[in-house]
Structure formats: C-alpha cells, structure tokens
Chains A and B, each alone.
Chain A
C-alpha cells in the first residue's frame, strides 16, 4: 500500500512536469497538481504522519481521513475547473462577437471597394468562362 502511494506520487509528478516542460499545462493548474503530488509523496515516505494526523483530528481509521481529504481536494479542483471554464466561455463569447462584427465590416468594405474598382475596368475584371484560355 505504501509502495503504491509512492509510485502514484512519482508518476503524477512525472506527468505534471512533463506536461509543464512541453507547455501543455499552464502554471496556474500545474501548481495545484504539484502540491498534491508532493503531499502524496510525503505521506508515502512517512506513513506515520497519517496515523498521527488521524489521532490528532479524532478520526477513527487513517483510511477514512485519507479518503475524506481526497474527496474534498477533488471537489475543490472540480469547482475551480468549472469556474475557469465559465470565464473562458465568456471570453470566447466576446471574442466570437468581435470576430463576427469585424467580419461583417470587412465584407461591407470589400463590397464598397469592389464597386469603386468596378466601373473602370469591368470589361477585363470579369472575363468570360474561358476568355483567357486557349
């Protein structure tokens, strides 16, 4: 069991650091995961800590404390992700809005340009289906 926790912590650390190095995970999320994996690592190296903490907090079985801590932690992480996603969605909405308005204006400007260019060389501007081919 202790070995399992140790291996888990190492794997988690390795994945987080790899993702960080590859720039596939931004620091603000990585920090949280680094803290979690270091905590697991510490608990794996010093199992006595968990027993001590269990006694201090008055929890009956160490595994109960571990599970409650894990659940609370994951709840927090999940909530944080929902919050970040909501913000990201709102930003995305505003960007989409801007892009759509900008595109509409570009379309209109291009239309005006086309009409300005149009009369002078309309004869060559729009050649027939195979006028330039031979």
Chain B
C-alpha cells in the first residue's frame, strides 16, 4: 500500500537577510527538492523579499517587523490554509544546515514537535557564561514539563505536524522568546508531545550574534520571566479545562 505523499512546508523567517537568504533558499531546494519553501519577509528594508523570490521561494511580506514569533505564526497560518501535513522552521542566516531537514522531520514519527538540538552529541556549537546557564536551566525545566529529555529548547530549528500547526495557529506568541519557550510550553500543555533530534549547528554566515556579558544577563532574566509566565499560564489553563 503506497503511503500518501507528505506535503512539507519549509518556513524561513527572514529580517534584513539579503546577504544570506538567497543561498539558504537555494540550499534548501537542493537538499529537499520535494518541499515547498516559504520565506516570511519580516518587514525587511533591504532586498530580502526579491532575492528570496528569485531563489524560488514563495514570499510572504509582512507590512512591518513583527519579530520571529510573528513571522512564524504567519508561516503556520499559511501552512494550515494550504493544507500542509508538516512544517519546519529553518533560519535564513544559514545556521541551520538544510541537510538536517529530513532528520528533524523524522522526529515527527515519534512526536508532534521535533526540535533540532545543537548540544546533543553532534557539532561544536558552544556558548558560555550566563547564557549557557540560562539555556541549561530552561532545558531542565522544559524537560520536566514535556516529560522528555530536551537539551536545547531555544533552538529555532524545529518541525511541527498538522496537530502542532493547528495549536500554533491557535496560540503562538510574538513576545521575546515566545517563539521558542512559550510556544513549546503552550503546546505541551495542550497535550502535544515533543522530541529532539541532534543536529550540527553552523556558524552565522554574515553578521554577529549577541554574546556580550550584559546581553547574556538580560537574556537570562528575560528567559526566566518568559518561562515563569508560560508555566503559570499553563497551570491556569489546565485547571480551567478540568472544570
């Protein structure tokens, strides 16, 4: 019995990534030719939209910058409307290796959401100081919440099946870290399952990541705040549904 063809949408949120987006889209189309690629142009002021379109992606141009969360929600709404069976987020900056797309998607055989994790065995991705503590702490709390061992919950390289897409369309926060932590907590509280797949993370192709101590400390504080809110919200929601 032939299995029905799985339609997969690759969502690439991009904000002023004209230097990288063309190569990223081309690479995705090379390594996963059967998948559709949609670039959500997050209010870019440069040529991101045109370059993405020329590279063969469907382009959704947001009228103003809404952050990764806003861009991803738009992508999920599009995926649901067009009836895709699964969607996977790949960042435009080239940090996610498109060759790993199928590996992350394979995780959907085990769970509704599959995260491509950067610290799990493969690769040499490293962060230090407060940022590392924050990531460790978030991972340990979310592992407990999701009842699975997760090591990298802030990774944006993640896949969702149709159930998870529906949940994301219902609730996908635009706030800081909402696209990774809050959305994951909300999904788990809604009864979805999570798994993680080890992937190698590549260095940014262009530009610099924020790694100074002050930035890292602010990151720590904000991530605690976001996580605390998400957990309390989840507890309230599950109590309400129990009644």
Cβ of B63 within 8 Å of any chain A Cβ, yes or no, is yes
Residues in chain B within 8 A of chain A (CB atoms): 40, 58-64, 66, 70, 73-74, 77-78, 81, 174
Cβ of A61 within 8 Å of any chain B Cβ, yes or no, is no
Establish whether residues A100 and B62, one from each chain, have CB atoms under 8 Å apart when the complex forms.
yes
What residues of B have a CB within 8 angstroms of the CB of A97 in the complex? 62, 70, 73-74, 77
- Near B by CB (< 8 A), chain A positions 96-123 give 96-97, 99-101, 103-104, 107-108
If A101-B60, A103-B60 are given as contacts, then 20 extra A-B residue pairs at C-beta distance below 8 Å, sorted by A number, are A93-B70, A96-B62, A96-B63, A96-B64, A96-B66, A96-B70, A97-B62, A97-B73, A97-B74, A97-B77, A100-B40, A100-B60, A100-B62, A101-B74, A101-B78, A101-B81, A104-B58, A104-B60, A104-B61, A104-B78
- Near B by CB (< 8 A), chain A positions 3-59 give none
CB-CB nearest in chain A for B39: A104
Residues in chain A within 8 A of chain B (CB atoms): 93, 96-97, 99-101, 103-104, 107-108
CA distance A100 to B63 in the complex (A): 7
What residues of B have a CB within 8 angstroms of the CB of A100 in the complex? 40, 60-63, 74
Asked whether A103 and B61 contact (CB < 8 A) given A97-B74, A97-B77, the answer is yes
Establish whether residues B174 and A93, one from each chain, have CB atoms under 8 Å apart when the complex forms.
yes
CB-CB nearest in chain A for B41: A100
B128 → A minimal CB distance (Å): 35
22 A-B pairs (CB sep. < 8 Å): A93-B66, A93-B70, A93-B73, A96-B62, A96-B63, A96-B64, A97-B62, A97-B74, A97-B77, A99-B63, A100-B63, A100-B74, A101-B60, A101-B74, A101-B77, A101-B78, A103-B60, A103-B61, A104-B59, A104-B61, A107-B59, A108-B58
What residues of A have a CB within 8 angstroms of the CB of B70 in the complex? 93, 96-97
CA distance A58 to B24 in the complex (A): 70
A100 → B minimal CB distance (Å): 5
CA distance A94 to B77 in the complex (A): 10
* Residue from A93, A103, A107 having most chain B Cβ neighbours under 10 A: A93
CB-CB nearest in chain A for B77: A97
